[in-house]
């Protein structure tokens, strides 16, 4: 198999890399409840795509880890993106204290890798938080890319040796003469 074919396979595999969402925030004091620290780590096969203002929900059991997530709800963490204004990506976090906190991020934030912060407390039940989104390639993908690079390098060496542009042996590349 040629190095180009291996690189193409590796690139296609990397495009399907899992996506991680790491969120840490503080829900604002509301209705007699104090500030509430909330957090989660979620790994999904592709970017969360809440289109048309609809929410995409996950239960606490579906996330890798969480802090103060209400396990009694099947829809505890929600993503939505209302296409209006600069900050329209809405994250809903239902906490164990019975309050649903809302965190607002830049429009389209859920669909691309990056580090995002809320502009601060905007509405009742709002909060401040940070969201890191990353597409993480599988370890086998990295090995496949490394193998393709090595194979491509070996092919270049073979080609150069056939044309005589590298000398007679690998030792000649380092200035050592053949005997």
Task: Give residue-wise pLDDT tens across range 74-95.
Answer: 999 999 987 666 778 889 999 9
> Is a pLDDT exceeding 70 seen at residue 44?
yes
Q: Give CA 35 to chain center in angstroms.
A: 28
What size, in residues, is the chain?
179
Arithmetic mean of pLDDT, 69-73: 93
Q: How confident is the model at residue 113 (pLDDT cuts 50, 70, 90)?
A: very high
Query: Phi and psi for 135 in degrees, rounded to 5?
Result: -95, 120
């Amino acid at each position: 198999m040629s190095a180009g074919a291996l690189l193409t396979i590796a690139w296609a595999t990397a495009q399907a890399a899992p996506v991680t969402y790491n969120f840490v925030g503080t829900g604002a004091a509301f209705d007699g409840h104090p500030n509430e620290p909330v957090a989660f780590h979620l790994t999904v096969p592709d970017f969360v795509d809440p289109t048309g203002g609809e929410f995409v929900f996950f239960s606490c059991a579906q996330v890798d880890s969480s802090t103060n997530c209400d396990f009694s709800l099947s829809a505890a963490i929600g993503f939505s993106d209302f296409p209006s204004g600069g900050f329209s990506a809405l994250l809903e976090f239902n906490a164990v204290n019975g309050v649903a906190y809302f965190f607002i991020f830049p429009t389209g934030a859920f669909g691309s890798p990056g580090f995002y912060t809320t502009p601060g407390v905007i509405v009742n039940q709002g909060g401040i938080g940070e969201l890191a989104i990353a597409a993480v390639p599988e370890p086998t993908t990295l090995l496949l890319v490394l193998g393709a690079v090595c194979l491509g390098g070996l092919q270049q060496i073979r080609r150069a040796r056939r044309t005589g542009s590298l000398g007679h042996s690998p030792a000649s590349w380092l200035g050592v003469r053949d005997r």
